Copies of this chain bind each other. A is one copy, B any other.
């Protein structure tokens, strides 16, 4: 289908069972769906956006699209960093904005069932009033949806101790490309009936189906007072080695964040923050009943690695220290458009990863300030396109992609991965075969075909489109 006339039929069929305001085809309202927060912009404006409220409405949308072979792009809040949830002409955005209800809390089973469009932060605000929390903690948590977190298998600051999104989801309801509905996973702690399609769908970036309901594994609020350590180091190598040593000594702090020298300088420039005599910074938080003892032991390890140390259990001072980490991206965005990369490496190789990033800077003349979730070896090397405002979403210059490609290669050489938590989307699809190998790449494509034989679910994302003959 490609003619305007046929698309009018599609819109009419969609409107037939949806409220009037739930189908939008005004191009001026649709250009927002050409981009997410990755900086990438699709070539053309998607043809429509739909705003279902119920599972049945999503099924109706999928049936109409399936019948007419119209591709669908599921979209949450559009805060992704890989260009996964953006659309082009001929595609329909399936937006979960109106599916934002908390359906049921079962405190005694430590689970909550929600619609996909609820914001992570909003859910956690509610859960806190009930004595619970949901651990996934991406930087975007206040503005990103639970459905989006699940689609991308979102990470964040707390993963080494509390796991990624995959560990925090029990069950999903998913509408497949043909409009059929499946329930995957279990509402129980254990369950081994058939293949674990719940785990498969988490992180599948909208390419297998549309998540319409999620049952989440929640935790009781952590008891006790958390303790925060801020440590500045003479060099980034000292900081990275100190972080590795913390893990090696058997500690798993709730949070362990590393800022390299370039990042520290940019944060200082933007916020006026004083980092003391060092030029790199490590932020650590311990929690739970042993928080104080653990913080003390960690403090001793940091001091052994030349740290200048602050340690506090005062909530306000803790907040200030954590705020330094949260100010990293605003500080960088002030300099220009960002390409935020996302490699993960084995924790023992963090210092080497930083050293090799410095080598790449030297060779290319491009600066790469890097912040790192040091508890899990997840580095965010950032490329700043100066002279372009962040949010303008212009194409990243190919010279920067060249260096980014070398960063990915370095990560694979160290035994790591080209994306720790942001996903593949369109931004990294060209490197995916390098990591998966040809056999697994084809196998993954065949699995997609088993779910979606006509390639209607978010086509062209994760896997590169086959070259047209």
**Which residues of A pack against B, CB within 8 Å?**
106-111, 131, 152-153, 155, 159-160, 163-164, 166-167, 176, 180-184, 186-197, 199-200, 202-204, 208, 220-221, 223, 244, 247-248, 250, 252, 288-290, 293, 344-348, 373, 375-378, 415-424, 428, 432, 435-437, 439-441, 443-444, 446-451, 462
Contacts and interface: CB of A to CB of B under 8 A. Distances in A.
B423 A192 contact: yes
26 contacts: A106-B348, A108-B244, A110-B247, A110-B347, A166-B196, A183-B437, A187-B346, A189-B347, A190-B373, A191-B344, A191-B420, A192-B203, A192-B417, A192-B423, A193-B417, A193-B419, A194-B432, A194-B440, A194-B441, A195-B204, A195-B447, A197-B447, A199-B199, A220-B250, A290-B290, A443-B450
Contacts of A223: 250
B193 A432 contact: yes
Contacts of A344: 186, 188-191
Nearest to A220: B250
Nearest to A196: B199
Contact of A190 (B155, B194, B440): B155
A2 to B, nearest CB: 29
Contacts of A421: 190, 192
A81 to B, nearest CB: 11
A176 B110 CA distance: 38
A131 B250 contact: yes
A193 B248 CA distance: 27
B220 A189 contact: no
B250 A188 contact: no
Contacts of A107: 248
Nearest to A440: B182
Given A106-B346, A189-B375, A220-B250, A436 B194 contact: yes
Given A202-B196, A450-B450, A191 B106 contact: no
B347 A108 contact: yes
B416 A376 contact: no
Contact of A109 (B166, B189, B346): B346
Contacts of A152: 192
